[in-house]
Amino acid sequence: MNGNSHPTRPETDPYESMAGPLAGTAFARPSARMVAALGEVSAATACAKLHQTGITRTFIDGPVPLHRTPDVHVVGGAVTLQFLPQREDVFSGTAQEDAERSTALWRVLETVQPGDVLVVAAHGSHFTGCLGDMLVRYFKLRGGAGIVVDGRVRDAQRIRALGVPVWCTGVTPHYASQTELFPYAFNVPVGVGGTLVTPGDLIVADEDGAVAVPQQYAIAIAEDARSHQDKEAFARERLDAGGRLSDYYPLTGKGMAEYVANGGAR
């Protein structure tokens, strides 16, 4: 190669010779009992109760509801998708969007089972539209419960119309591999919004955001959460009736004695 020549792109795309998207090993989805137990638990309560056990990094920082409604709430087992930085010698060019069908993005959607929550690690990208109308539509048709994306989505109006609860960091007109990321792996452990999510973890998401709950803590957390939420309901009643904040929140001492005298959990 002389000083005036330039290296040329290989005639074949290196991605075609790769083994394909990286798939994680088999994992156990949470039981129906676990999902039902957390069904009335808020993200804030789940996060607080896990913190009290010593598990302090469960909040998925960044994603918020795409369609904010007072009753938005999802509980389900995680299936995961991992985006990684794109490198042009591996995958680029005009055929990008068409070739996405051979990536982890399509593969993970074809593994979705009823009640699953898709968790997407996209490095908080402002430019990668991880999912759009067609893919979310397919997710819904397979029975998926909700989607949490550490990044952006596109076709926002159509996604809202589908009624699938989506937590994301915003919207973009880009398709998934159009800019700096590429969907490489699925159903592997991922870092999402500063939190580790492994396939099969329970996701509790509402207006306050999304929280990852390890399966082994689900039942205990749910039982503790129900007691906690009942005490808070009692405290609200007393505060609304004119009670002093220091007497009823947190519910200890005099307030707790009054709660117990009134029959405790209702």
**Distance set, CA 47 to CA 60, 61, 166, 203, 229 (Å):** 10, 12, 19, 11, 13
pLDDT in tens, 225-259: 888 888 888 899 999 989 889 888 888 888 888 88
pLDDT in tens, 27-37: 999 999 999 99
Q: For residue 7, is it within any domain?
A: no
Contact (CB, 8 A) for 166 and 66:
yes
188 and 229 assigned to the same domain: no
The proportion of the chain whose per-residue pLDDT surpasses 70, expressed as a percent, equals 86
Which CATH number do you get for residue 127?
3.50.30.40
Residue 219 has φ and ψ, to the nearest 5°, of -65, -45
Q: Is the pLDDT of residue 75 over 70?
A: yes
Residue among 112, 116, 76 at smallest CA distance from 205: 76
pTM, two decimal places: 0.85
More confident residue, 150 or 14: 150
113 and 192 assigned to the same domain: yes
Number of domains the chain contains: 2
pLDDT band at 77 (very low <50, low <70, confident <90, very high): very high
CB atoms < 10 A from the CB of 117, how many?
Answer: 27
Question: What is the model's pLDDT at position 45?
Answer: 93
Answer with the one of 213, 237, 252 that is the final residue of a domain.
213
Q: For residue 147, is it within any domain?
A: yes
Q: Is the pLDDT of residue 116 over 80?
A: yes
Q: Point out which residues pair with 167 in neighbouring strands.
A: 65, 148
Q: For residue 5, is it within any domain?
A: no
202 and 235 assigned to the same domain: no
Q: Average pLDDT of 160-174? A: 96
Q: Average pLDDT of 21-29? A: 93
Contact (CB, 8 A) for 43 and 167:
no
